[in-house]
Structure 1
Amino acid sequence: MRSVLSRSRGRALRGVCAGAALALLLCAAPAGGAAASAPPEAPSAHPSTARAVRGIPGEIPRSADPRVAAWQRLRYGMFIHWGLFSELGGVWKGKPVTEGYSEQIQMWANISGKEYAEVADRFRADRFDPGAVCALAKDAGMKYVVITAKHHDGFAMFDTGTTDYDVVDRTPYGKDPLRALARECRAQGLEFGVYFSLVDWHAGHSFDPDNSNPIPASMEPLIEGQLRELMTGYGPIAEVWFDMSAPTAAQSRRFARLVHRLQPGATVSSRVWNNAGDFRVMGDNEVPDVPLDGAWQTPASVYHETWGYRSWQRREDKPGKIRSLVRGLLSVRARGGNYLLNIGPRGDGSVVGFEADVLRGVGAWLKRHHRAGFEASATRFGGQPWGEVTVDGHELYLHAVRPPSDGRLRLPGLATRVAGVAEDGPGGARLDWHREGDDLVVQLPEHPADPVLPVVRVRLRGPLRLVPDETVDLGADGRGTVTAKDMETGHGYADEGSYRSQRRTTVRSTAYVTTARGGRADVRFAGEADPGTSYRLTVGSRSRTLSGRALMSGKPLSFSLPRDRVVPVTLTRAHPAHPGEDLDARVRRITLTP
């Protein structure tokens, strides 16, 4: 993984600690101490420069779009896959269906429409309890609930006037469970969202293992009619989780606009396709291994094998499952994403006890580390070899997901002074720590207090700032060259209308420089860029828009560089069509001269 802070320290602040005896002393001097007696620290001084350097802000900001930012603040939610498929529980005609997810059993068992519709005759859902579901979500620490309004089988789990193939008209249950759940979410202070499949086997789509069916014009009135019902009959909607199919770009835009028009506060998932969504959905249970720019979400399931209820699913090692899901939640949150964790109730509406216990176990950990695991924000540290890093104000949290054998957590590039270090949670003991240059080194206790995942709380003396390992020192004369290997790359995703077409893109290129000289500097780029594309070049707090032709012309661009500060030099598109549009530029070299 190439994070903002590389795991190798070899490239950081490329200067030479040489010359004056004072500089040599500064290079060798320790920068910290034990927690009980740590002296006040000077600003971050990297050993290779022996200069006090002001780092960049370390917290990853939320989206500038208020609607998306409000969705990001939800952080962690409950996904519910429930429908006719739940009644079958992964079994058809007495035999387990082992291929595919159980919510798609109609396809994998090749069940006819007539036989599948007959399952509705026994769908009583007499143990569905919206109050208990919402209480479980809150016990798990979740802030919102997203439920399947309609899956690929086309069976509507709400009262719709577009078809009688729905839970009210076809089942003994005869009620609208979504309306009851939406009402209960509001009563218990949770946000409400819906999953909506664009694949509909009942309306005419054929079985396709890739679920990449195009949407014929004849199906559009059904989809739009059902979306209007969902967007107008269930109160405020926080999230619409579209899924699968292969719509045209015009269809994707129309579906997303319909949601935004009727629910101005709702966010739309990227699986509406053609880059028309508000946030990008990762693959199932996927944690990205590169830094992502923009809003994104990981959908996760208690079991990776299925989302819908499976009666024969192996349910074992509850402590291990809790630990695994806590790690997944933290990895997503520390990288800036939302985590949507799924349960699959039985056909009668009851939640599987194992799943409820696991969710409560995750919630118990969050209660012990509420600020660290929920309130805290993502940081630019990225994933570390030993775990994850979050921040809440002047409190930095080190999550020891993979504690090293010697128990030493090394956090590279911390530019903020440290006031103290302790285990997080009730009665957390103070821990030994010291500074090595701008690295913080913490010694974990031999037996951490938290049995699930230990967390270290670092009290900072100011806002979080860091010195990226890629930072290049321009030296005393203010001259230097940044090559491609010294640049940080920000990524996004784009698609061409279907799941299989989704691809990772490069949306940002950033170099970090610092100089003891300060003042005006000429910046020259070498590389390739689309000549007609408008790019935004930002140096520190100043930006300039120019064409790809002008950017790569070799002509100097003048900017002011403050002294002894890490200055980001960032290239993005000036007017991207969507957040994941590829930069379409390759920077090979940046030259800076006074």
Structure 2
Amino acid sequence: MKNLANIILLISLSVNTLFAQSDYKPTDKNIENREWFQDAKFGLFIHWGVYSILGDGEWVMNNQKIPVYQYEKLPSFFNPTQFDPAEWVSMVKKAGMKYITITSKHHDGFAMYDSKVSDYNIVDRTPYGKDVLKMLKDECDKQGIKLFFYHSQLDWHHPDYFPLGRTGQGFTGRPDNGNWNDYIDYMNTQLTELLTNYGEVGGIWFDGMWDKPNADWRLDETYSLIHKLQPGTLVGSNHHISPIPGEDFQMFERDLPGENTMGFNQTGTISELPLEMCETMNGSWGFNLQDKNYKSSKRLIQTMVKAAGYGANFLLNTGLMPNGKIQTENIDTLVVMGKWLDKYGETIYNTRRGPIKPQDWGATTVAKDGTVFIHLLEMKDENLLIPALPGKIKSATYWANGEKVKYKETDYGILLHIPKSKQDNVDTILRIKM
């Protein structure tokens, strides 16, 4: 039955392509921004909202079945007086990240900016009363970091998000009615605010379409609106299926492109669009007081390397605390990753997917001058057979010191000999000139 449900989901979602921007042709600015995006490789994902007060993740409203009238009390407790955008952006730069994607509105419907179409927002409903997205955008512009806005299409709060989808059932206390088209109008109005009041926006990162896969999302209208207001803004959607016309990059949630270990990605298709995978530092997106399952910096660096091997960006998430601070554990991890990129960033930034698909032993990336970087992440001994490279190898050296690598080209591939003394605990990098 689960497989049948997945098939139905795919069929239902594919119907939406009828409503997508089928005649969409990206502008020169959009193409330029896609190239920048592919060069950037590493970004910070920020989940932050009034849900952080409860310290139980961004799905707490649904998971704890909190009615709307009760959940609406949370904003009066939200006062992030320690929010320091300069500190945030400086840390992002030290971590080697090139952009930030932050939640403008999550599934709980609460806007983290000064929305005029609804007073259910951080300026009108909290004692803090300031537009954190505006403050962050100003600082990003000052320090040369691009800002993307995550925006949830799913909304457990808005009365016109009706009929309800897979989530938000049986507890919200909302009227059993609503006008779906009015909700889409509301969403598009909020998107218009984000695209007209905050300067140049790097991209819109959609999420939640999977909640109502058979709904008429009016994607053509929404995508056309975005590209009209800001032709260079990149559009992506976490709908877990193949890209829909009008989208500018393809994303994968908590999985490398083409993989589905988490059960989210319902297609193995990897498009020719720019790619991005997103991942958590522990097991939660939003701040979770009891989630101490932090991934090691080694694991996260190796995931970033494999993502780059697919040509994909690595969007690494932190769930902000209600006071506006980033958890110390997350900062420590980002510092380690930043130091690693200071040394080895040339093999990640500005590269494209390598000639050998990422495997258990590691990945390959290729620079724009054709140099191939072999990233050896896991070696059981001193010898490793990898698939052949296209063309003739001119030279093979260790990236760290330029010493020659011992290798032999065979009918079965390339046999590398990497002495234990040359192996790095995180990533042994070889530079191959073809």
Is TM more than 0.5 here?
A: yes
**Counterpart check, 1:406 vs 2:381:** yes
Q: Which residue of 2 aligns with 1:439?
A: 413
Contact 1:211 1:244 survives alignment (8 Å): no
Question: What amino acid does structure 1 have at the position aligned with 2:347?
Answer: A
CA drift of 1:75 comes to 2.2
**Counterpart check, 1:266 vs 2:230:** no
CA drift of 1:321 comes to 1.2
Q: Which residue of 2 aligns with 1:129?
A: 84
> How far apart, in 1, do the equivalents of 2:117 and 2:281 lie?
33
Q: Which runs of 5+ in 1 are unaligned?
A: 1-63, 91-101, 461-594
Equivalent residues in 2 for 1:86-235, closer than 5 Å = 86-90=52-56, 102-204=57-159, 205=161, 209-210=166-167, 216-235=180-199
Q: Percent identity?
A: 28
Question: What amino acid does structure 2 have at the position aligned with 1:203?
Answer: H
**Counterpart check, 1:395 vs 2:371:** yes
Question: What amino acid does structure 2 have at the position aligned with 1:455?
Answer: I
Contact 2:238 2:252 survives alignment (8 Å): no
> How far apart, in 1, do the equivalents of 2:179 and 2:233 lie?
23
- Secondary structure of 2:59's match? helix
> How far apart, in 1, do the equivalents of 2:284 and 2:31 lie?
34
Question: What amino acid does structure 1 have at the position aligned with 2:228?
Answer: R
**Counterpart check, 1:347 vs 2:322:** yes
Q: How many residues align?
A: 381
Question: What amino acid does structure 1 have at the position aligned with 2:49?
Answer: G
Contact 1:149 1:196 survives alignment (8 Å): yes
- Secondary structure of 2:296's match? helix
- Secondary structure of 1:457's match? strand
Distance 1:327 1:288, change over 3 A: farther
Distance 1:215 1:300, change over 3 A: farther
**Counterpart check, 1:280 vs 2:257:** no
Contact 1:242 1:270 survives alignment (8 Å): yes
Contact 1:333 1:377 survives alignment (8 Å): yes
> How far apart, in 1, do the equivalents of 2:152 and 2:359 lie?
37
Question: What amino acid does structure 1 have at the position aligned with 2:72?
Answer: A
**Counterpart check, 1:293 vs 2:257:** no
Note the alpha carbon deviations across 1:540-561, whole angstroms, 9 max, x for none.
Answer: xxxxxxxxxxxxxxxxxxxxxx
Note the alpha carbon deviations across 1:474-500, whole angstroms, 9 max, x for none.
Answer: xxxxxxxxxxxxxxxxxxxxxxxxxxx
Q: Which residue of 2 aligns with 1:421?
A: 396
**Counterpart check, 1:238 vs 2:202:** yes
> How far apart, in 2, do the equivalents of 1:385 and 1:89 lie?
36
Q: 1:386 aligns with which of 358, 361, 383?
A: 361
- Secondary structure of 2:348's match? helix
CA drift of 1:293 comes to 3.2
> How far apart, in 1, do the equivalents of 2:189 and 2:317 lie?
27
Question: What amino acid does structure 2 have at the position aligned with 1:139?
Answer: K
CA drift of 1:179 comes to 0.6
Query: Which of the pair is proportionally richer in helix?
Result: 2
> How far apart, in 2, do the equivalents of 1:178 and 1:364 lie?
28
> How far apart, in 2, do the equivalents of 1:210 and 1:374 lie?
39
Question: What amino acid does structure 1 have at the position aligned with 2:101?
Answer: V
- Secondary structure of 2:356's match? coil
CA drift of 1:249 comes to 5.0
CA drift of 1:449 comes to 5.6
Contact 1:397 1:457 survives alignment (8 Å): yes
- Secondary structure of 1:241's match? strand
CA drift of 1:364 comes to 1.6
CA drift of 1:154 comes to 0.5
Question: What amino acid does structure 2 have at the position aligned with 1:313?
Answer: D
Structure 2 length normalisation: TM-score? Answer: 0.81
> How far apart, in 2, do the equivalents of 1:123 and 1:177 lie?
12
> How far apart, in 1, do the equivalents of 2:254 and 2:166 lie?
16
> How far apart, in 2, do the equivalents of 1:415 and 1:216 lie?
53
Contact 1:315 1:354 survives alignment (8 Å): no
Q: 1:325 aligns with which of 279, 300, 312?
A: 300
Distance 1:195 1:215, change over 3 A: farther
**Counterpart check, 1:302 vs 2:271:** no
The structure number with the bigger radius of gyration is 1
> How far apart, in 2, do the equivalents of 1:158 and 1:223 lie?
14
CA drift of 1:259 comes to 0.8
Query: Which of the pair is proportionally richer in strand?
Result: 1
Larger mean Cα displacement after TM superposition, 368-377 or 123-132: 368-377
Question: What amino acid does structure 1 have at the position aligned with 2:253?
Answer: G
Question: What amino acid does structure 2 have at the position aligned with 1:140?
Answer: A
Larger mean Cα displacement after TM superposition, 196-205 or 144-153: 196-205
Q: Which residue of 2 aligns with 1:534?
A: none
Contact 2:353 2:365 survives alignment (8 Å): yes
Note the alpha carbon deviations across 1:465-519, whole angstroms, 9 max, x for none.
Answer: xxxxxxxxxxxxxxxxxxxxxxxxxxxxxxxxxxxxxxxxxxxxxxxxxxxxxxx
Alpha-carbon RMSD across the aligned residues, in angstroms, is 2.6
Larger mean Cα displacement after TM superposition, 113-122 or 142-151: 113-122
CA drift of 1:386 comes to 1.6
CA drift of 1:70 comes to 3.5
Question: What amino acid does structure 2 have at the position aligned with 1:70?
Answer: W
**Counterpart check, 1:256 vs 2:230:** no
Distance 1:275 1:215, change over 3 A: farther
Note the alpha carbon deviations across 1:102-157, whole angstroms, 9 max, x for none.
Answer: 10101110112122121111211111111111112112211111100000000000
Q: Which residue of 2 aligns with 1:46?
A: none
- Secondary structure of 2:253's match? coil
- Secondary structure of 1:131's match? helix
Q: Which residue of 2 aligns with 1:30?
A: none
CA drift of 1:65 comes to 4.2
Question: What amino acid does structure 1 have at the position aligned with 2:289?
Answer: S
Contact 1:281 1:297 survives alignment (8 Å): yes
- Secondary structure of 2:72's match? helix
Distance 1:143 1:215, change over 3 A: farther
CA drift of 1:308 comes to 0.2
Distance 1:389 1:123, change over 3 A: same
> How far apart, in 2, do the equivalents of 1:120 and 1:200 lie?
16
Note the alpha carbon deviations across 1:406-458, whole angstroms, 9 max, x for none.
Answer: 32233323243334333223x35433223225833221121346332221222
> How far apart, in 1, do the equivalents of 2:370 and 2:384 lie?
19
Contact 2:200 2:230 survives alignment (8 Å): yes
Question: What amino acid does structure 2 have at the position aligned with 1:288?
Answer: G
- Secondary structure of 2:43's match? strand
Contact 1:121 1:172 survives alignment (8 Å): yes
CA drift of 1:385 comes to 4.4
Contact 1:196 1:240 survives alignment (8 Å): yes
Q: Which residue of 2 aligns with 1:11?
A: none
CA drift of 1:238 comes to 1.1
